[in-house]
Structure 1
Amino acid sequence: MYTILIVDDEQLERQALRFIIEKQCPQIRVVGEAGDGANAIRLAAESKPDIVLMDIRMPEMNGLEAAKGIRALLPGVNILMLTAFDEFSYAKQALTVGAIDYLLKPVRPEELLKALGVVMDKIGIDRSRQEEEERLRQSVEAARPFIQMSFVYDLISGNIGGSATFQERSRFLGLRVDPHLALVVDVDDFKKLTVHSSELEKQMVKQKIYQVICQAVGDLAMVTPFGSDNVIILLGFAETVTAELAKQSAKKLAATIRETIQRSLSISITVGIGRYYEDSREVHKSYHEALNAQRQRFYLGDSQIIHIEDVPFLGDVPFHYPFQHERVLLDKVRCGDRKQAKQELRNLLEEIFATKTSIETVKACVLELLIVLSRSAVEGGADLERLTLLNLECISLLNRCTSRNEVETWLIGSLDQFLDNMLENRSSMNTRVINKACEYIVKNCQRNLPLEEVAQTVHLSPFYFSRLFKQEKGYNFVDFMTKVRLDKAKRMLQEPDYTVVRIAAEVGYQDASYFCRVFRQAMNMTPNQYRAENRRGETMLQEQKEHGKKLTT
C-alpha cells in the first residue's frame, strides 16, 4: 500500500485527482488534501506520505517553496509537480528542488496513472533496498559482540595494523574513546565455585558478572569475555590524562567492580591492571602487564587489585632450585616411604614458593619434578605404562592450578597415585617372580639345586630372593624344596615298579637312608609303610566299588 498527499489551490482539481486515483489505483490511499503550501507542509509532517502530488502555482507559498519545506522534513518523499503549459519554466526549477517528475495541466488520467506507476515502482525498489539494509544492519548488530571481540583480540595481540585501520574499525564500532589501558578481571576459584553447577548456570553467572562490569565502565571502555572465566576491559579516557592519573582511575574502577560483584553476587574477583599507553595500538603491552599482575594472586591470595607497577620485577629475584630436598625425596619414593616422601615434598615446595618466582616458573619446576618422581616410582616397581597415563592426566590438571595451595595439593595427590601404583604393581610383580621361581624348582628338584641358581633365574640377589620367597610363600626356600621332593616321591610310591632307592635318586636324594629319614619325619611313616597304606586304601576302595555293583544288580 502507498499513500499520497494531494496539494492544489483549486478544490475541483483536487477532487478530480482523488477520483482518478481512488478509482484506478486501489493500491494508493489518499491521506490528505491541501489548498496551499503552508498546509501542505503541515499535513506532510503529520501523515508522512510516500507521494506528494503538488501544483506549482498556488497563492502565498507556491509549490516550489512547499516542496523544499517537505523535502527538508521527509528526504525520501516522492514529489510529482503539476504545472500549466505557460509555466513550463517552473518545471525545470521543480526538478532542482527534488521533484522526480512533472505533469502538464490539465492532466489526462492515463498520463497520471503512468506517472504514478513509475513512482510506485521506484518506491518498491527503495523499500526493498531499505529492507535489505535493515536486515544487514540487524545482522551486523547481532554480530557486534563478535566484531568487538575480534577487534579486542587484535588489539591485545598487537595485530591491529596501521593507524588508518585502527580508526576505521573504531568508528565502525562507534567507540566514544580509544582504549589506552587494560584490566583483566578473573573470578577467584570459579571452577570450584561452580563444580556442581550445570553449564547453563555457569554461563548465567558469567553473564551477570559481565553485566555488572559493563554498568560500571559505561561507554568509556570495551568489555569482552575472554577465556574460561576472564573478562578484559580496555579502558579509554574522555580527556588527556597522565599515566599516574590513569593508574588511579583504573584502580578506583577496579575497586568499584570488585565491591559490586562481591555485594550483589557474593563472588570474589582479582583484577590485574597494566600501564597507560598514549598510542592505543600499544594497548597489547598493557594487556600483558595486566595479565602478569593478575597472576600474582598465586602469592598474594584472592580478592586483589594489582597494578603491574606495584609488583616487584620478577627478573631481579634469583631462583635456586632445592636439589638437596629432591634427592632425599626420590630416595623415600623408591623405598615406598609415603609419610617421609610427603614431608620432603612439602619442604621442597616451600623452598620453591619462598623465591616468589613467577607462576610459570613454578609450574615448569613442578612439572619437571613430576617426571623425576615418576622415574623413581618406576625404579621402585611401578608399572611404566600405567604411570605414563597418570602423568598425562596430571599435566592437564596442573594447567588449571591458579594458587600455591592448588599446586601443592595437585603434586601431593600425584605422589600418592605414583606410590599406590608402585606398591600395587610391586605386590603383583613379586607374586609373578616367586611363581616363576617355584616352577623352576619343581622342574629341577631331582638335582642339587642351590638357592643362588634359582635367584639368578629371576634376576634377584640371593638375599633379596630369600626374604621375598619367605614373604610370599610363608616358608623358606629349603622347606619348599623338601615339600616339592616329597610330593613327587609320594606320587612315585603309588607305582609298584619303583624301588625306594630309585625314588630317592629321582627326587634329588643320593642317599636313600637320608631320604627315608626326611620322609618319616614329614609323614610319620617310612616310604614302604606309606606305599602299603596307599595299597590298602586302594584295595578297600576297589572292594567298596564291587560291593556297590552287587547291590545294584
Structure 2
Amino acid sequence: MVKLMIVDDEQLERQALRLIIERNCPDIEVAGEAGDGVSAVQLAIALKPDIVIMDIRMPEMNGLHAAQSIKQLAPDTSIVMLTAFDEFAYAKQALQLGAMEYLLKPVRPEMLLQTLQTVMQRIREMSARRQEEARLREQIAAALPFIQMSFVYDLISGQITEMEHFKERAGFLGLQANPAVALVVDVDRFKELTRSASELEKQVFKQQIYRLVVQSAGKTALVTPFGSDSLVILLHFSGEKTQEEAKEYACRIAGSIQETVFRDMKVHITVGIGRCYEDPRDMYKSYHEALSAQRQRFYLGDHQIIHIEDVPFFQDSPFQYPFQYERTVMEKVRCGDRRAAKAALRELLQETFSHRSGLETVKAYVLELLIVLSRSAVEGGANLEQLTLLNFTCIQSLTDCATKEHIEQWMMEYVDHFMDNMLENRSSVNTRLINSACEYILKNFQRNILLEEVAQTVHLSPFYFSRLFKKEKGYNFADFVTRVRLERAKKLLQNQDYTVVRIASEVGYQDASYFCRAFRKACGMTPNQYRSDIARSREEKSKAAKMH
C-alpha cells in the first residue's frame, strides 16, 4: 500500500482530492492532510509518505520551501505540485527542486489519476531497483573473499600497473592504506599432517589456520589463501615507516601468528617476509622476496620467521633480483611451453651470473630455483612423487658442477626432465582436475557460484583454470554452469506443482525473467512452452498406449 499526504490551505480542495483518490485508487492510502507548509513538513516526518500532493501558494511556508525541506529529509518521497495557470514559472522551479510532476488547478479527476499512475509506476521502478541493488550487495558480500583473493593475486603477480586501477579496486575493498609488506605463511609438513585426512578434513584444517591467521594479523592486513598450504598476507601501515621499522613490525605480526597457530592447533608454520615498498604496484617484489625467504626453511628447518634481509644471499648484495624473469619461467613451465621456458631461463641465469661471483652462492640460488620450477611443473601436470625423487637425485650432480656453464647446462637438462614428465602426466591430471571441478559445480550450482571459487577447490589460478577448463570441455566455465542449471530445470519442469519462479530459484537464478531468457536462448522456447510440449507428448503416448 502506497501512503499519500495532501497539503493545501483550502479544506474543500483537500476533501475533493481525497474523495477522488479513495474512490479510484485502491492501492493508495491517504494517510494525512495539512493546511500549510510548516505543518506539512512536520507531518511528513511523522508519516513518511511515499507521495505528497503539495499546493504552491500557502501561508507561512509556501509549497516550494516545504517540498525542498521534505526532499532533504526524505529524498525518496515523490512530490506532485499543485499550481494555478499563472504560476507556471513556480512549477518549473518545483521540478528543479525535485518534484516529480505538477498539476494545474482546478485539478481534473482524470489528470490527477493519470499523474498518480505515473508516479506510482516510478515508485515501483525505484523499489525494484533498490531490491536489485540489495540483491547485488548480498552477492558481492558473498563473493568478497574471492574478489579480495583476485586483487591480492593481481598485486603479487605484478599485473596491476596503473595507479588508478589499484585505487579503484582498493577503494572497492575498503582499504584505508596501501599494502607495503608481503608475508608468505606456509604450514610445515602439511602433506604429512594431512596424509590420512579426507578432502573435507583438509579443507576444514586449512580454514582453521586461515581464521587464526586473520585473527592474529589484525585489521591492518589482507589475508588470502594461495596454493594448497600457503597464505599470503599484505600488511599496510597507518604512517610512513623506515625499512627497519617495517621489518620489526612485520616480524612482530609473524611471531603473533606463529604463537596463535601453535597454541590453538599445535601446528608449526614458517613465515617469509619481504621488504617494505611505498608504491603498492611493487608488492610483487615484496611477495617474491617473502617467498624466497620462506624457502630458506629448506636449509634452516621448520618453524621459522625469515626476513629477506636476514638471508645472506640477499643481504650481501645490492643486486635487484630479476623477478620478472622468474615469473616468466614459472608461467612457461606451467603452460608446457618448453622453448619459451628455456629462453626465459637463459635470461634469468645470465642476469644472475653477472651479479654473483661466488660459485657456491650461485649453486644455492639455482637449487632454490629448481624447487620453484618443480612446483610450477606439478601445477602444469607433472607427477609430484617422480619430481621429488628427481630433485634429490639432482643435488649431487649439481655439487659436481665446476663452472657456471656446467650449471646452466645442468639446469636446462632438468627443465627438460620436468617438461617430459608434464607431457606424460598432464592429460590424465588435467582430466582429473576438471572432473573434480565439474563435480563441485554439480553440487553447488544452486547458488551464485564463481569461477574463482571453483578454481580454488582444484588449487589453480582463476586464469589458468579458465583456460584449462575450456580446453578440456570445449566450452567455457559459464556455459557449463548454464548447461547444468538448465538440465536440472528441464527435470523440474516435468513437475506441474513447481512454478517457473520456484524452479528459477532452485537452479541458481534469483531473477526469474533472466532464467526465462537463458532457457529460451539455449532451448529455443520458454520454460512454459517446454512444459506444454512435455505434457502434450505424455498425452499422445497415453492415447497411443490405449489404442493398442
Q: Which residue of 2 aligns with 1:185?
A: 185
Q: 2-side partners of 1:17 and 1:398: how far apart?
A: 89
- The total of aligned residue pairs comes to 343
Q: Which residue of 1 aligns with 2:32?
A: 32
Q: 2-side partners of 1:290 and 1:153: how far apart?
A: 14
Q: Which residue of 2 aligns with 1:274?
A: 274
- 1:170-204 per-position Cα deviation (integer Å, ceiling 9, x unaligned): 22332211111100111122222222322222222
Q: What amino acid maps onto 2:367 in structure 1?
A: T
Contact 1:176 1:219 in 2 (8 A): no
Secondary structure of the residue aligned to 2:60 is coil
TM-score by length of 1: 0.56
Q: 1:361 aligns with which of 352, 360, 367?
A: 367
TM-score by length of 2: 0.57
Q: What amino acid maps onto 1:395 in structure 2?
A: Q
266 and 14 in structure 1: CA distance in 2 versus 1, 3 angstrom threshold: farther
Q: Which residue of 2 aligns with 1:114?
A: 114
2:134 corresponds to 1:134: yes
Q: 1-side partners of 2:387 and 2:104: how far apart?
A: 84
- 1:69-92 per-position Cα deviation (integer Å, ceiling 9, x unaligned): 111122232110112345444323
Q: 2-side partners of 1:305 and 1:297: how far apart?
A: 9
Secondary structure of the residue aligned to 2:22 is helix
Secondary structure of the residue aligned to 2:312 is coil
- 1:258-314 per-position Cα deviation (integer Å, ceiling 9, x unaligned): 222222333222111000011111111110111111112223222221111112117
Q: Which residue of 2 aligns with 1:301?
A: 301
Stretches of 4+ aligned residues off by more than 6 angstroms: 314-317, 354-357
Structure 2: state its 5+ residue gaps: 318-359, 375-381, 396-548
Q: Which residue of 2 aligns with 1:382?
A: none
Q: 1-side partners of 2:265 and 2:391: how far apart?
A: 23
Q: Which residue of 2 aligns with 1:124?
A: 124
Q: 2-side partners of 1:156 and 1:48: how far apart?
A: 50
Q: What is the root-mean-square deviation in Å for CA atoms of aligned residues?
A: 3.2
- 1:127-152 per-position Cα deviation (integer Å, ceiling 9, x unaligned): 33333333333333333222222221
Q: Percent identity?
A: 59
Q: 2-side partners of 1:243 and 1:113: how far apart?
A: 71
2:278 corresponds to 1:284: no
Q: 1-side partners of 2:80 and 2:117: how far apart?
A: 12
Contact 2:184 2:232 in 1 (8 A): yes
Q: Which residue of 2 aligns with 1:413?
A: none
Secondary structure of the residue aligned to 1:26 is coil
Contact 1:52 1:80 in 2 (8 A): yes
Contact 2:2 2:28 in 1 (8 A): yes
Contact 2:313 2:361 in 1 (8 A): no
State which structure, 1 or 2, has the greater radius of gyration over its C-alpha atoms. 1
165 and 393 in structure 1: CA distance in 2 versus 1, 3 angstrom threshold: closer
Q: 2-side partners of 1:153 and 1:190: how far apart?
A: 22
Structure 1: state its 5+ residue gaps: 318-353, 369-390, 405-553
* Aligned-pair CA distance for 1:231: 0.7
Q: 2-side partners of 1:268 and 1:184: how far apart?
A: 14
2:203 corresponds to 1:203: yes
Q: 2-side partners of 1:399 and 1:292: how far apart?
A: 21
14 and 209 in structure 1: CA distance in 2 versus 1, 3 angstrom threshold: farther
Contact 2:243 2:276 in 1 (8 A): yes
138 and 81 in structure 1: CA distance in 2 versus 1, 3 angstrom threshold: same
2:401 corresponds to 1:395: no
Q: 2-side partners of 1:92 and 1:400: how far apart?
A: 81
Q: What amino acid maps onto 1:155 in structure 2?
A: L
Structural mapping, 1:469-480, within 5 Å: none
Contact 1:194 1:202 in 2 (8 A): yes
Q: Which residue of 2 aligns with 1:232?
A: 232
Secondary structure of the residue aligned to 1:122 is helix
Q: Which residue of 2 aligns with 1:244?
A: 244
* Aligned-pair CA distance for 1:357: 6.6
Q: What amino acid maps onto 1:122 in structure 2?
A: R
53 and 392 in structure 1: CA distance in 2 versus 1, 3 angstrom threshold: closer
Q: Which residue of 1 aligns with 2:168?
A: 168
Structural mapping, 1:207-218, within 5 Å: 207-218=207-218
Q: 2-side partners of 1:163 and 1:316: how far apart?
A: 32
- 1:469-495 per-position Cα deviation (integer Å, ceiling 9, x unaligned): xxxxxxxxxxxxxxxxxxxxxxxxxxx
Structural mapping, 1:81-96, within 5 Å: 81-96=81-96
Q: What amino acid maps onto 2:241 in structure 1?
A: V
246 and 31 in structure 1: CA distance in 2 versus 1, 3 angstrom threshold: farther
- 1:228-255 per-position Cα deviation (integer Å, ceiling 9, x unaligned): 0111011111212211111111111111
140 and 392 in structure 1: CA distance in 2 versus 1, 3 angstrom threshold: closer
Per mean C-alpha deviation after superposition, the further-off stretch among 277-286 and 301-310 is: 301-310
Q: Which residue of 1 aligns with 2:22?
A: 22
